[in-house]
A and B are shown apart, each in its own frame.
Chain A
Amino acid sequence: MLQRRSSGRQVRIVITPPRRWALPSVARMWEAREVLVRFSVRDITLRYRQTALGVIWVILQPLLAAGVLTFVFSSVAKLPSGGVPPIVYTFAGLLLFNLMSSVISRGSNSLVANASLVSKVYFPRLLVPLSTAGSALMDFTVSLIFMGVLLVVFGVSPGLAVVLVPVWVVLTVCLAAGVAFIASALTVSYRDVQYVIPFLLQIILYGSPVAYSLGKVSPHYRIIYDLNPMTWLLDDMRWSVLHQPEPSVVLLALSVVFPMAVLLFGSFVFQQRERGFADVI
């Protein structure tokens, strides 16, 4: 009598109060993976809809920024650029910095920007900040292709380590996503975070060797740079793309482990706060 419309296997959902210590369920996220794709597609579509130059902005923005930074740090301040043309050196750094920066800044606002969804539909909330990585990676890919063009034009040849580029990209996204998870979860309750993030990113931009190499930094300050995860990743990236000296094994290991740890910690913090999102946002 009852012709249940069951699409395949029997589903059973149990709703209980949230457990105190838990990580986001990977199974649930996998179940909802299409949401991630749709969000990313939406973000990418929206970014360039009703713009005249469209995708050209993706190249134009970092190129103009690289130009300005090169002028300031290389032409005016005469900081070294590791023996490659300054613009190439800066662009390579900016490539990675922009990836991190856009994941963090877009990610941290994402929950509040999607407040109506968070309070009206169920899906793993972690997908919201995570999906911002989609559009950031899209921008990154376009810039990376342009990076290749720059390498050819300036005759810089990357070494064999170029095959490791995807690894550094994944690690940068992990690091940035971890931070974005925490920032977005905190923004739900405290909108202060929205004002802090751009300021922090600004500090990272000038405080990391994005547009200059560490050659002229006095040993006195060197320790600050060595403790900066962005320095590690920038070193790794330039080793791969610009044939710069290979980073030390310790820093190499740190640059792999640290972003993973941040991602894990970020997911944990996010999960802790998730239960209250719909009530507070």
Chain B
Amino acid sequence: MNPDNETAVSVSHLSKKYRIRQRGEGPSTAAEAALGFLRGRTKPTYFDAVNDVSFEAKWGDIVGIIGRNGAGKSTLLKILTRITAPTTGRAVLHGRVGSLLEVGTGFHPELTGRENVYLNGTLLGMRRKEIESRFDEIVDFAGVEAFLDTQVKRFSTGMYVRLAFGVAAHLQSEILMVDEVLAVGDAEFQEKCLRKMREVAQTGRCVFLVSHQVHAVRALATRSLYLQQGQLIYDGTVEGALEVYKESFERISSDDAIEAGMRPGSGDVRFATVRPVKESFDAAEEKILEFTTTASPDISYKHHIRCDIVDSDWDIVVRLDSPLVKFSIDPRTAVHGTIVLRTPWLRPGLYTVNLSLWGGRARVDYWETACSFRVMPIFPYEGVASQAATEGAPVLADFSFTTTERSDASA
């Protein structure tokens, strides 16, 4: 209990339980609460979002936290940033904590850029003097000098994000926690952000980073934690954690699947089963998935389906959104259906499928890594398929080259 000076963060046996509300269970109005009280309570179900996690981080560490959706990464950060309280356990932070769980938190659309920098900076834990002394740097970083006195509701998304990240990047706190914020902005700006975060760590501070983008973690983190179903199952090098992550795909099976009731979405209608018709496909072959849904007799409007094919780097390779092909399902009847991907061709490797069901703009069901399939290195190309030729880009294409003689060229 007496850590040396090198320890920035020490976490011991941290857990967070959530009470799960099934549909129709749990009060949402005072009247329901009163009724529930009179009837006697139903026994609630609990869900361990974070389960007995212990680790230490040193100054200068950039800790990448990875894991599938629902593994507890964001909950862990929320506990460490004191947004939500742990159920049991203890964490000691040896410095001020700055957090960026969402770009532009606390930005108010009606306020000007300048006013928002002060508001946001204060919320993130900066003193007025600190903001004043770094104001020019922040504005310069974001590149929005000309619009400082414009209300941010008139900002473009890019400007908004750059300004918001600028504030967070100039936090003076000794510990910085960042959740999935590199997904925004253009490539150049992302590079700038990565550089900034590296600088932060080089000055001896400690950075925590949650990301879905493997390349961001790989580029930045000096060590990594891998979470699975709330438990810390790997604590070590980045490459090691990524190995564990990739392996976790191999082990997707029915017993590993998240229970339908615990999946995000309103749950009025859900997917019952999803599976590929074959375990492996050729690169250019039609990839066919079969799914079944449950029914809800009370819902009369159409639902549509979104199917994301995700590669082993966690990048979405293709998105199959059913409104684009004018397809929807009637939630009143349980259906059996197929999803067919004809193009592009997929490069060899393991793919997972994220399925979501939408009723209007509301997400009714979201099933991450619902199933997986393998694409074999069997190509319809006539030439020799080198690794560089087939694995250099996210997808493969049906293409050709032709030449004709130039008539305008001098001999």
Interface residues of A (CB under 8 A from B): 2-7, 10-18, 34-35, 37-38, 42, 45-46, 49-50, 116-123, 186, 189-193, 275, 278-279
Shortest CB-to-CB span from B177 to chain A, Å, is: 10
Q: Give Cα distance in the complex from A141 to B227, angstroms.
A: 54
Which of these binds chain A: B64-72, B75-83, B281-289, B291-299? B75-83
**In the complex the two chains form, is B110's CB within 8 Å of A15's CB?**
no
Decide yes or no whether B85 CB sits under 8 A from chain A.
yes
**In the complex the two chains form, is A190's CB within 8 Å of B106's CB?**
no
**In the complex the two chains form, is A192's CB within 8 Å of B30's CB?**
yes
What are 12 A-B pairs with beta-carbon distances under 8 A?
A2-B60, A4-B204, A7-B130, A7-B172, A10-B95, A14-B90, A15-B92, A16-B86, A16-B90, A121-B81, A121-B105, A190-B33
Name the contact of B80 in the complex, choosing from A2, A15, A123, A189 (C-beta under 8 A).
A15
Contacts of A3 in B (CB 8 A): 203-204
**In the complex the two chains form, is B101's CB within 8 Å of A120's CB?**
yes
Contacts of B118 in A (CB 8 A): 38
Q: Give Cα distance in the complex from A193 to B93, angstroms.
A: 37
Count of interface residues, chain B, beta-carbon cutoff 8 Å: 53
Name the contact of B127 in the complex, choosing from A13, A34, A191 (C-beta under 8 A).
A34
Closest to A6 in B: B174
Contacts of A10 in B (CB 8 A): 94-95
Shortest CB-to-CB span from A33 to chain B, Å, is: 10
Q: B117-146 vs A: 1/0 string, CB under 8 Å?
A: 011001111011010000000000000000
If over half of B's interface residues share one DSSP class (helix, strand or loop), that class is named, otherwise mixed; here it is loop
**In the complex the two chains form, is A15's CB within 8 Å of B93's CB?**
yes
**In the complex the two chains form, is A11's CB within 8 Å of B85's CB?**
no
Q: Are A15 and B91 CB-contacts (below 8 A) given A3-B204, A4-B204? A: yes
**In the complex the two chains form, is A11's CB within 8 Å of B174's CB?**
yes
**In the complex the two chains form, is B94's CB within 8 Å of A120's CB?**
no
Shortest CB-to-CB span from A54 to chain B, Å, is: 15
Shortest CB-to-CB span from B47 to chain A, Å, is: 11
**In the complex the two chains form, is B105's CB within 8 Å of A116's CB?**
yes
Contacts of A6 in B (CB 8 A): 95, 174
Q: Are A46 and B110 CB-contacts (below 8 A) given A15-B90, A34-B127? A: yes
Q: Give Cα distance in the complex from A102 to B118, angstroms.
A: 26
Q: B79-119 vs A: 1/0 string, CB under 8 Å?
A: 11111111111111111110101100110101100010011
**In the complex the two chains form, is B110's CB within 8 Å of A49's CB?**
yes
Contacts of B128 in A (CB 8 A): 34
Contacts of B80 in A (CB 8 A): 15
Q: Give Cα distance in the complex from A7 to B90, angstroms.
A: 25
Name the contact of A11 in the complex, choosing from B30, B87, B95 (C-beta under 8 A).
B95
Q: Give Cα distance in the complex from A260 to B174, angstroms.
A: 39
**In the complex the two chains form, is B102's CB within 8 Å of A120's CB?**
yes
Q: Give Cα distance in the complex from A186 to B127, angstroms.
A: 31
Decide yes or no whether B46 CB sits under 8 A from chain A.
no
Q: Are A12 and B93 CB-contacts (below 8 A) given A5-B203, A34-B127? A: yes
Decide yes or no whether B301 CB sits under 8 A from chain A.
no
**In the complex the two chains form, is A38's CB within 8 Å of B82's CB?**
no
Decide yes or no whether B6 CB sits under 8 A from chain A.
yes
**In the complex the two chains form, is B124's CB within 8 Å of A121's CB?**
yes
Shortest CB-to-CB span from A277 to chain B, Å, is: 8
Contacts of B115 in A (CB 8 A): 42, 45
Name the contact of A2 in the complex, choosing from B6, B85, B110 (C-beta under 8 A).
B6
Name the contact of A122 in the complex, choosing from B27, B30, B83 (C-beta under 8 A).
B83
Decide yes or no whether B327 CB sits under 8 A from chain A.
no
**In the complex the two chains form, is A12's CB within 8 Å of B123's CB?**
no
Given contacts A38-B118, A42-B115, 10 further A-B contacts (CB under 8 A): A12-B94, A13-B82, A13-B93, A16-B86, A35-B123, A38-B119, A42-B111, A42-B119, A190-B28, A192-B31
Q: Are A192 and B29 CB-contacts (below 8 A) given A42-B111, A122-B82? A: yes
Decide yes or no whether B198 CB sits under 8 A from chain A.
no
**Which residues in window 369-394 of B have CB below 8 A to A?**
none
Name the contact of B174 in the complex, choosing from A5, A17, A38, A116 (C-beta under 8 A).
A5
Q: Give Cα distance in the complex from A123 to B106, angstroms.
A: 12
Shortest CB-to-CB span from A194 to chain B, Å, is: 11
Shortest CB-to-CB span from A55 to chain B, Å, is: 17
Contacts of A117 in B (CB 8 A): 105-106, 123
**In the complex the two chains form, is B86's CB within 8 Å of A17's CB?**
yes
Decide yes or no whether B270 CB sits under 8 A from chain A.
no
Contacts of A5 in B (CB 8 A): 172, 174, 203-205
**In the complex the two chains form, is B105's CB within 8 Å of A14's CB?**
no
Shortest CB-to-CB span from B204 to chain A, Å, is: 4
Q: Give Cα distance in the complex from A159 to B309, angstroms.
A: 79
Shortest CB-to-CB span from A9 to chain B, Å, is: 11
Closest to A37 in B: B122
Shortest CB-to-CB span from B27 to chain A, Å, is: 8
**In the complex the two chains form, is A45's CB within 8 Å of B106's CB?**
no
Closest to B32 in A: A190
Shortest CB-to-CB span from B222 to chain A, Å, is: 14
Q: Give Cα distance in the complex from A33 to B245, angstroms.
A: 43
**Which residues in window 30-48 of B have CB below 8 A to A?**
30-31, 33
Closest to A14 in B: B92
Contacts of B358 in A (CB 8 A): none
Q: Give Cα distance in the complex from A192 to B32, angstroms.
A: 11
Decide yes or no whether B367 CB sits under 8 A from chain A.
no
Q: Are A278 and B84 CB-contacts (below 8 A) given A117-B106, A117-B123? A: yes
Name the contact of A121 in the complex, choosing from B106, B108, B111, B127 (C-beta under 8 A).
B106
Contacts of B89 in A (CB 8 A): 16-17
Contacts of B33 in A (CB 8 A): 189-190
Shortest CB-to-CB span from B93 to chain A, Å, is: 4
Closest to B96 in A: A11
Contacts of A12 in B (CB 8 A): 92-94
7 smallest A-B Cβ distances: which pairs?
A122-B82, A15-B91, A13-B93, A120-B105, A278-B84, A2-B204, A190-B30
Shortest CB-to-CB span from B83 to chain A, Å, is: 5
**In the complex the two chains form, is A121's CB within 8 Å of B84's CB?**
no
Contacts of A35 in B (CB 8 A): 122-123
